[in-house]
Amino acid sequence: MNIKNNIPNLLTLANLFCGLIIIIHAAQLKFDEIIYWAIAALLFDFMDGTAARILNVSSTVGKELDSLADIVSFGVAPALVLFYYWKNIYVEGFFLFAPLAIAVIAAYRLAKFNVAEQNTDYFKGLPTPALAFACFVLPQIHNEIPWVHSIIKDPYFVVLFSLIGGFFLISNFRFFSLKIGSKNQKFNVVRAVFLAICLLLIVWLHFFGAFLCLLLYIGLSLSIQNRIH
């Protein structure tokens, strides 16, 4: 076994492991623990691709494995986090199962990603980690801003968030990439501004700020659609 060639795959498997732990914590209603594992999953997801490029060891197996890990960590895990969270706050009936649409649509989005031409400047369709992280922070918001909590526990919000989020996942809208190394200096500026604002939002509003980062990402990407090539 060539260790160098498998470093990216080991990082991908670490991402998958984090996703499994998130699901277990969600079933146990340990939503505070989820955030740490979600951050770790995002870091491993970023690191595996970066390691593959640095080591020049990308492979077809690695690409498929990456998608399998992502569907668990950023498809099934966020869907179940919302399912168990809304079940815990007594959302019932059809509304309770709406978040499961996120897992189904995420699977389709990742399949589309695998067969599409890759671009370092943008993704076609909302990246699954962006929507997933918003799902992971939602259960934390009720401790911070009561009026926001009253909205997110509404059954109609459950359905709208799941369906609108799913729509953006498989849309043809272009979302700028946050990957390092783009030759397009304009996008490097956009990335820097976006990340700076997100940092301010998180410091100021904590978990609600993290959720607002998703809305900012969608809004900023849509506003520069014609400039993303």
Single pTM value for the model: 0.92
Q: State percent of the chain over pLDDT 70.
A: 94
* 147-164: average pLDDT: 90
Per the prediction, the chain carries an average pLDDT of: 89
pLDDT at residue number 1: 57
| pLDDT higher than 70, residue 147 | yes
pLDDT reading at 195 higher than 90:
yes
pLDDT at site 63: 82
Q: Number of structural domains, the chain?
A: 1
pLDDT at res. 228 = 59
* Confidence tier at 106 by pLDDT (50, 70, 90): very high
pLDDT at 40: 97
Kindly report which listed range (59-68, 87-96, 134-143, 173-182) carries the lowest average pLDDT score: 173-182
Helix 155-169 with 100-115: angle, nearest 10 deg: 10
pLDDT classification of 131: cutoffs 50, 70, 90: very high
Q: Domain with 113 in it: what CATH number?
A: 1.20.120
Residues spanned by the domain of 51: 3-227
User: Using N-to-C axis directions, what is the helix angle for 77-88 and 128-141, rounded to 10°?
Assistant: 20
